[in-house]
Structure 1
Amino acid sequence: MNVTIIGLGLIGGSIAKDLRKSRFATHLTGVEANVSNAEKALEIKLVDEVLPLEAAVQKADLVVLAIPVDKILELLPVVLDLVSDRTTVTDMGSTKKEIAQAIENHPKRRNYIAAHPMSGTEYSGPTAALEGLFTGKIAIVCDHEKSGPQHLALIEKMFQTMGMNIAYMSADEQDHSTAYISHLPHAAAFALANAVQDKEDRSIIFDLASGGFRSTVRLAKSTPTMWGPIFQQNKQYVVESLEVYIKHLIDFKESIEHDEQRMYALMENANKIRGILGGENPSLIKNEEKIVKFYTK
Structure 2
Amino acid sequence: MNDINIIFMGTPEFAVASLQRIVESGYKVSGVVTVPDKPAGRGLKIRQSAVKQYALEHGIRVFQPEKLNDPLFIAELKELGANLFVVVAFRKLPEAVWSLPALGCFNLHASLLPQYRGAAPINHAVMNGETVTGVTTFFINEGIDTGKVILRSELTVGPDETAGELHDRLKETGAALVIKTIENIASGKCAPIAQPVSNEPLRNAPRIFREQCFISWDKTAGDVHNHIRGLSPYPGAISFLKGETAGREVKVLRSALTGEIAGTAPGHAKIVSDNRLFVACSDQYIEIITIQPAGKKAMQASEFLRGLRTTGIVFKTPSEAV
Which bin holds the TM-score, normalised by the shorter protein? Answer: 0.3 to 0.5
Q: Which structure shows the higher helix fraction?
A: 1
Q: Which structure shows the higher strand fraction?
A: 2
Structure number with bigger Rg: 2
TM-score between the two structures when normalised by the length of structure 1: 0.41
